[in-house]
Structure 1
Amino acid sequence: MSTGVVLPYWLDRPDGEAVEIAVEADRLGFGTVWVGEMATFDAFALATAIGLRTKDIRLRVGPLAAGVRGPVALALGVSSVVALTGRQVDLALGASSPAIVAGWHDRPWAGAAPRMREAVRAVRSLLGGERLSVDGAHVRSHGFRLREPVPGAEVSVAAFGPAMLRVAAEEADEVVLNLVTPEQVARVREVVDGHAAKAGRAAPRLAVWVTAAVDPGPNALRQVSEQLALYLRAPGYAEMFTELGHGTLVAQAKAGVPRRELAVPRALLDAVCALGSAAAVRERIAEYHRAGADHVGVAPSTADDPAGRRVLAAVG
């Protein structure tokens, strides 16, 4: 079991804080930092900057939307970061959301699960040094081969719904969950293990992202609430929050209520985050490990804790 750090990309904080968080995580000896992508930096560019500013930490880029970059762009990005930083680099892929895939990037949203399966297989081939030749329903590419393969790079898949969980269990090195309860982790662990066994392969690891704040005050709670509100309408998340008893809140979000006006209850934050004293945060992370998570990625609140230093020191 391991604990890593997730760059949280808080909308109310300076963009450059992402690098500061990674540097602090490296200083404290964390083994992995997750470098995702929102509305600030290109993930591969940010991962390169972090690799040049840190000493040992492993870079896990993503989850990136599998429907936005093709396998060639994804593999080239991983290979570039490795070559420029000399660091170990892994790749995580996810479906993302219609707003990002179709709205921001003008890419088709339909067929997320079969597209993921084809993307993972194609990226694996490229990272392993093969010349790509695929004619899938969603991925079609011919002739490219990396000059600098990365055969040791792992591929993770962020999953929620039944179809994507099956793809992740059958194809990925690791399944990634975000904003879930320990009880949901236990259920997913069972589902993933079952799918993997039927496919005749070892079950992939299970990673969980957990937002954390030590002794959170009003600013930290507001920061976490507004960020969680972004997920209330997203496929998979909406159903999960409804299952937790917050269907009215989900309906309000889907009806267009601005995220800052959505009254996210503390009970929902406590259900899917690690909030409280340093000891309580450590115990909460341990709950996720006991539920079946092989890896917990801590996303630190920084509203009252620049670069998440108190949170990272508490769990590092």
Structure 2
Amino acid sequence: MKRQLNSPHTTSVVYPLQASQVGHVMPFARLLERRGSGRLWLGQSLGIETHHVFAALAGAGVHIPFGSSVALSPLRHPYDAAVQARSIAQLSGLPFVAGIGPGSKEFQSAVRPAPLAKPVTAAREYVRTMRALIDGETVHQDSGEHSTHAVFPVMDAPPVEYGLGVLRPAMARAAGEVADVAITWLTPPPYIRDVLAPALKEGAARSGRPVPRVATVVHAAVDRPGRYIPAVALAAARAHLSADHYTDMLRRAGIPAYPSDPVTGARLLVESGTFVAGTPEEIADGLDRYREHGVDEVVVNVCGVLNAHGLGAAVTDLTQILAAVDGRRA
């Protein structure tokens, strides 16, 4: 089957947990491989490191494109990030999306002497350094968070695309300036259209670059007998709903979520359609709503089902959701 990438209706998948066994990721990868379209995304895994998971899948013969959503920049120098990204492109034989993000202030404090003073500026410089290195430029940079004086060894490999994790307008403008992909997570559709998209265009115009495409991770669950969807949403997003930067974004989007009350936040995600639930066909409709609001690549996340009901239930939901999506594209 010929693999399709970056079509106007791309639907991809995220493995929704930190990986502890490659075998747990494999059903998601094989599902996409059989389907013949879509990308497998992983967030930052502190179990088996994200890029190592991709390498293991490629070594097992899985032939699908990968993307990080997102790798946390405080963990590595941009030179190492460039090595990791180009390695996955080479090992997979397909373009790799190197999605980068600074993480929360709490995470930054855990691995650095202090939180990043200017996380948006740091992210912009980080991506620029990665791109310059992989493009074969000699980099001399002493400003910002990292000192880099290097040129990258030349290697023929599929292209690396650069992504930034985007929640709020300042990072969206930075993504417009330097990234190929703006990666959003838990972002309501109107907020993408009305807030993030204009900021992406502003940043792109500032740098004379194309506007990045938007890849949005969307929580979803099939509504089945015995499932209480707000509880599934809480199982999916409790950590995000307890975080200041995510709940700040949701409040900007008109959803009154607060870190002190993730239970209410989960219910509001369902009521607003940010967490998409229903029959597989109704979920396909909900995913189309994201596309109608400017999302180029919808990334389906069945984390809540996996956490609440197990791996088999999550793969079943995902299989049925993708079948519903593909049925309307046929």
2:279 paired with 1:277: yes
* Corresponding residue to 2:293 among 291, 294, 297: 291
What does the per-residue CA deviation read over 1:230-262, in whole Å, with 9 as the maximum and x for residues that have no partner?
112434312123345654x51515xxxxx6xx4
Q: Which residue of 2 aligns with 1:204?
A: 212
Say if 2:102 and 2:123, in contact at 8 Å, map to a contact too. Answer: yes
Q: Which residue of 1 aligns with 2:3?
A: none
Indicate how the Cα distance of structure 1 residues 244 and 164 shifts in structure 2: closer, same or farther if over 3 A, else same.
closer
2:46 paired with 1:45: no
Q: Which residue of 1 aligns with 2:97?
A: 90
Say if 1:92 and 1:158, in contact at 8 Å, map to a contact too. Answer: yes
Q: Which residue of 2 aligns with 1:230?
A: 239
Name structure 2 gaps, 5 residues minimum: 1-7
1:152 Cα shift? Answer: 1.8
SS at match of 1:92: strand
1:288 Cα shift? Answer: 0.6
- Relative contact order, CA 8 A, sep 6+: which one is greater? 1
* Corresponding residue to 2:222 among 185, 201, 214: 214
Indicate how the Cα distance of structure 1 residues 149 and 114 shifts in structure 2: closer, same or farther if over 3 A, else same.
farther
Q: Which residue of 1 aligns with 2:170?
A: 163
Q: Which residue of 2 aligns with 1:314?
A: 324
SS at match of 1:137: coil
Give the partner amino acid of 1:83: Q
Task: Give the distance between the partners of 2:18 and 2:319, measured in 1 at CA.
Answer: 15
* Corresponding residue to 1:99 among 106, 112, 127: 106
What does the per-residue CA deviation read over 1:156-195, in whole Å, with 9 as the maximum and x for residues that have no partner?
1111223211111111111111111111111121232233
* Corresponding residue to 1:191 among 196, 199, 202: 199
Give the partner amino acid of 1:21: F
Give the partner amino acid of 1:287: R
SS at match of 1:148: coil
After superposing the two structures, state which structure 1 stretch, 166-175 or 126-135, moved more. Answer: 126-135
Task: Give the distance between the partners of 1:150 and 1:132, measured in 2 at CA.
Answer: 20
Say if 2:213 and 2:296, in contact at 8 Å, map to a contact too. Answer: yes
Indicate how the Cα distance of structure 1 residues 142 and 8 shifts in structure 2: closer, same or farther if over 3 A, else same.
same
User: Sequence identity of aligned pairs in percent?
Assistant: 24
Say if 1:132 and 1:145, in contact at 8 Å, map to a contact too. Answer: no
Q: Which residue of 1 aligns with 2:147?
A: 140
Q: Supply the RMSD in Å over aligned alpha carbons.
A: 2.7
Indicate how the Cα distance of structure 1 residues 106 and 233 shifts in structure 2: closer, same or farther if over 3 A, else same.
farther
SS at match of 1:231: helix
Give the partner amino acid of 1:278: P
SS at match of 2:70: strand
Task: Give the distance between the partners of 1:10 and 1:36, measured in 2 at CA.
Answer: 7
Task: Give the distance between the partners of 1:232 and 1:221, measured in 2 at CA.
Answer: 13
Q: Which residue of 2 aligns with 1:256?
A: none
Indicate how the Cα distance of structure 1 residues 46 and 219 shifts in structure 2: closer, same or farther if over 3 A, else same.
farther
Name structure 1 gaps, 5 residues minimum: 254-258
Indicate how the Cα distance of structure 1 residues 291 and 246 shifts in structure 2: closer, same or farther if over 3 A, else same.
closer
Say if 2:177 and 2:203, in contact at 8 Å, map to a contact too. Answer: yes
Indicate how the Cα distance of structure 1 residues 201 and 89 shifts in structure 2: closer, same or farther if over 3 A, else same.
closer
Task: Give the distance between the partners of 1:88 and 1:200, measured in 2 at CA.
Answer: 23
Task: Give the distance between the partners of 2:83 and 2:39, measured in 1 at CA.
Answer: 21
SS at match of 1:218: coil
Task: Give the distance between the partners of 1:314 and 1:53, measured in 2 at CA.
Answer: 29
Say if 2:104 and 2:245, in contact at 8 Å, map to a contact too. Answer: no
Say if 1:174 and 1:207, in contact at 8 Å, map to a contact too. Answer: yes
Give structure 1 regions of 4+ aligned residues with deviation exceeding 6 angstroms. none
Give the partner amino acid of 2:205: A
Say if 1:212 and 1:281, in contact at 8 Å, map to a contact too. Answer: yes
SS at match of 1:41: coil
What does the per-residue CA deviation read over 1:193-244, in whole Å, with 9 as the maximum and x for residues that have no partner?
2332243322111111101112255376534313312112434312123345
Matched positions, count: 307
Task: Give the distance between the partners of 1:181 and 1:94, measured in 2 at CA.
Answer: 19
Q: Which residue of 2 aligns with 1:76?
A: 83
What is the TM-score when the length of structure 1 is the normalising length?
Answer: 0.86
Give the partner amino acid of 2:222: V
Give the partner amino acid of 1:296: V
Say if 1:128 and 1:149, in contact at 8 Å, map to a contact too. Answer: no
